[in-house]
Chain A
Amino acid sequence: MKLFLIGIVLLPIGAFLTIFTSPKSKGYVFSIAALIAQFFLLTPAILVLAGGESLSLLFQLSDPIGTVRLVLDPLAAFFVLIISCGGLLAAIYSIGYMKIYENSRYTLSAYYIFMGLLISAMLLVVTAQNALFFLVMWEMMSIASFFLVSFENGKEEVRKAGLYYLIAMQIGAAFLIAAFAWMVTRSGSMDFVTFRQVFQTSGSYWIFLLFLIGFGTKAGLVPMHSWLPRAHPAAPTGVSALMSGVMIKTGIYGILRLLLLWGTPDVAASYTVLGIALVSGIFGVMNAIAQHDLKKLLAYHSIENIGIIGIGIGIGMLGLAYHQNTIALLGFLGGLLHVFNHFTFKSLLFYGAGIIYSKTHTRQIEKMGGLMHYLPVTAVLFLVGSLAISGLPLFSGFISEFAIYLGMIRGFGVTNLSLNVASLVSLAGLAFIGIMAVLCFTKVFGICFLGTPRTAYPENIRDDQPAMLFPMILLAGVILIIGLAAGLVVPLMSRIVSQFVPGHTVAEWTEIRLVFSQISGVLAIFVVLIFGFLALRRILLRNKPVAVFKTWDCGYQAEIPRAQYTGSSFASPFTGLVSGIIPKHEELDSPKTLFPLKARFTSHSEDLIDLYLITPMIRFVLGFLKLFNWIQSGRTQQYILYGLVFLVVLLIWIIGMR
């Protein structure tokens, strides 16, 4: 555990060292520090995950915090694994990505320092067992990421996004502070262990809801999601990936930690989690379909995937609440595995989006097309990520979603009306989410990488940045390993999943393991079939003429790239179907005279919750705060008067106290 602390300290130290190095080498310095830290962080984490004892460390801080216990139990170790790997990959990626800022007014050292602080804060969040210390680290995480989001602070939209993010995080934190304060006053101690008894008393549903809102804001559960589509496009890509792939998971961690303390959650809380998660999943991916900004689209997919993770957790909670161990095991297995999977494929996709942005200088997919001819390696890696996020077999997303499906299907085996109905709703919901993800990623991949370019690209677009490609290749490898060798990967999850279902028997777990071994076998047959048919095709085409000609265009002899289907036209039949949920905003200047000089049409979609819930709320708060507007007049004399009045009041009060 001491090793672990060294690792945590190493990251900011490495980051501070970048101040003294040249702009070119800052990325390398930080990456090396992160690499060394990996050793200290991963060794204890892997030992714990492999079956070793949970590690813990006590230290004393000054008064309000008191004794801090850092514990590395399997759950914490699992998140440490994700955080430290995600941090290292983001560091390596930044070497390549941040090159464009080397000669700009932005200071790269600040970037690495806040990244180092963010990673360390996250590591402490998942290990801290002291409420106040946890909250302090939670805030440090929010603030460090705020500075990272507003890195390009010269742009107004970035500043706005950063502030929006910071405010959203503070509102979330306010709920957490309230919830923790309630817990601490009941238990009389800051230590998490003492919360266990508090949860046994009545009222745990409402306190859980308070926590759920607080942690859900970080995780991006609907309706607390509105910061994600703003902050992710604004942040540099390495940060987007780190935030989306890793940081929002700390919200999930919070919920899971609560569940560990709660033991057996009550039924209402389980249905609440399942319901919110389903809404998040469906709402997230529906909005993603309507987006044309690549990073905004990926941000909405984070909401979707947090939804899927939540569905898994919800199923697991239902399993616990109804004392069905197998359902609980499957739900938590799926949810937790999806946490890891989402880290891999979402980081991969964000890194890919970053490469596209750094090459084409646009995030609008409508301006892309045919990128596979220019960036073949990026394209293939992005395809792997797309297939994984769509939950398709052979890739990692399928394995975690399959576990969740299996949990739901087990839910039909229990004679309980509400559980059966919940199973059906979530079964159809997850299938709906899956097929919508297919729609969204066929759109993204097809429009960005295939076809022909819709606008002229800058010259010399090539796959020439190994520092950016290397993390992607690693992640794609992990995705394929999990996707193909689920039978080997699932047993590794046993320690973590068992923590949530203490009462399960070995037989129940063995049965689940067996299913995943069978899946691996079947998928191996699938791979053989694919290669078999490819070989057959090759044999059939041997000594046959294979002509290369242009795309069949009905004899119309002009190739106009702009006539290709665009992202919005591809999505339009679907967005038309769900126009009640994704309102489309259209502006049309139609050509008017016989010889029209101009005509213009723009369309963009709105976020329903943003439109009808968040914006009115902000307007209400603003209206209320306007009442106090007169206080800030801008006149110095008036402010001095305030000071004087304050002093006089203070004087009277003190005299009165005497």
Chain B
Amino acid sequence: MIAVQFLIILIVPFLFIGLINRTKAVWAGRRGAPLLQPFYDFFKLLRKGEVISKTTTFIFRLSPSLQLAAVFLAALILPLPGGDSLLHFPADFVLFAYALGLARFFMIIAALDTGSSFEGMGASREVTFATIVEPAFFILLGSLVLISGQNSFESIFASIDSSDGFSILVKILCTVSLFIMLLVEGSRVPVDDPNTHLELTMIHEVMALDYSGPDLAFIQYASALKMVLIGTLLANIIIPYSLGAALSLTLYLALLAVIAITIGFIESWMARLRMSHVPQFIFLMTALSLAAFVVVLFFMYGGF
């Protein structure tokens, strides 16, 4: 199981991005790049040298490796559906969120390190949106802890297996909420458009504007892995725990594919929201998480 998890961590993020791009291409009437194209790009970048801005300090060089390490740690904490997590302890999801927070801190200061106003803009937006996502994510986690009575990822997922009306409602609310989080954290449409890295409206891509070579490869891999992690979280909620390893794994991969295709479709169908409307969209996640919590309270206390 450990080997499988490592394999998934190493391969699936690239396929995930490849599948999104393929979907967009097919919808636009093109054939599109091969599914493994992000993989080839990754290795090409790893083989290259770098150009580093003279304004920057060690922060700029430290940041990509640290981001990747933090996301990797988060990946080790999160279990695969139906499986055990490699590292688990009470309230491990707090470390999950905070490790990603550390990655975010360094991503932002590395962007500010270049002294570029573009990157400052991206950094500012990234952290502003995070201020809405983070409390919503903790509300969601709180609901899961309350309904399961457990306090680590692994045991929570193992004990929200029941399929009565309340649980299903909570699961639906959590799923939609997490999907919004996936769009925000992955910097996808309608929050951000990964294709437009030189317009004034972008967030994530512009923060990596000055990176090249292995550092850029690290950043791209880390952000793809982060999306897959949120997808995995979502899968853990949807896929019942007791299906058996093989079936869970198949369902999990299928679900990730569905998520990637959905993202591809969303990006084909709609435009990015105006920057001033993005917070409202993210507040939807807060509202859904709160709704999930209220449903759990109803479930536990049988109405007021």
* B-binding residues in A (CB < 8 A): 369-370, 372-373, 376, 379, 383, 387, 390-394, 398, 402, 405-406, 409-410, 412-413, 415, 417, 420-421, 423-424, 427-432, 434-436, 438-439, 441-442, 445-447, 450-452, 515, 518-519, 522, 525-526, 529-530, 532-534, 536-537, 540-541, 544-554, 561, 563-565, 569-574, 577
Contact = CB atoms under 8 A, between A and B. Distances in A.
B214 A540 contact: yes
Contacts of A553: 116
A435 B120 CA distance: 18
Contact of B301 (A417, A549, A554): A417
Given A445-B109, A450-B57, A525-B73, A413 B151 contact: yes
15 contacts: A373-B57, A393-B95, A393-B102, A406-B91, A410-B151, A434-B101, A439-B127, A522-B89, A544-B48, A546-B51, A561-B115, A564-B117, A569-B124, A570-B120, A574-B128
A563 B279 CA distance: 26
Nearest to B150: A413
A369 B293 CA distance: 44
Contacts of B226: none
Q: Across chains A and B, which 10 residue pairs bring their CB atoms closest together, nearest first? A: A565-B120, A446-B112, A451-B115, A544-B49, A533-B65, A545-B49, A431-B138, A529-B69, A435-B134, A518-B89
B126 to A, nearest CB: 9
Contacts of A450: 56-57, 59, 109, 112-113, 115
Interface in B109-153: 109, 111-118, 120-121, 123-125, 127-128, 130-132, 134-139, 141-143, 145-146, 149, 151
Nearest to B283: A577
A interface, over-half SS: helix
B20 to A, nearest CB: 25
Contact of A424 (B77, B130, B139): B139
A463 B143 CA distance: 50
Contact of A565 (B121, B138, B213): B121
Given A548-B53, A549-B52, A552-B114, 13 more contacts: A387-B105, A393-B99, A409-B94, A431-B97, A436-B131, A451-B115, A515-B91, A525-B87, A551-B54, A565-B124, A573-B125, A574-B128, A574-B131
A415 B297 CA distance: 10
B209 interface: yes
B102 A392 contact: yes
A205 B121 CA distance: 49
A536 B135 CA distance: 35
B108 interface: yes
B142 A412 contact: yes
Contacts of A536: 65, 214
Interface of B: 46-57, 59, 61-62, 64-66, 68-70, 72-73, 76-77, 87, 89-92, 94-95, 97-99, 101-102, 104-105, 108-109, 111-118, 120-121, 123-125, 127-128, 130-132, 134-139, 141-143, 145-146, 149, 151, 198, 209-210, 213-215, 218, 279, 293, 297, 300-301
Nearest to A447: B112
A546 B56 CA distance: 14
Given A442-B108, A451-B113, A573-B128, A552 B210 contact: yes
A552 B116 contact: yes
A357 to B, nearest CB: 21
B142 A428 contact: yes
A369 B128 contact: no
B242 to A, nearest CB: 23
A537 B70 CA distance: 15
B183 to A, nearest CB: 18
A551 B55 contact: yes
A431 B128 contact: no
B130 to A, nearest CB: 6
Nearest to B304: A417
A537 B151 contact: no
Given A392-B105, A432-B135, A551-B115, A421 B297 contact: yes
B59 to A, nearest CB: 7
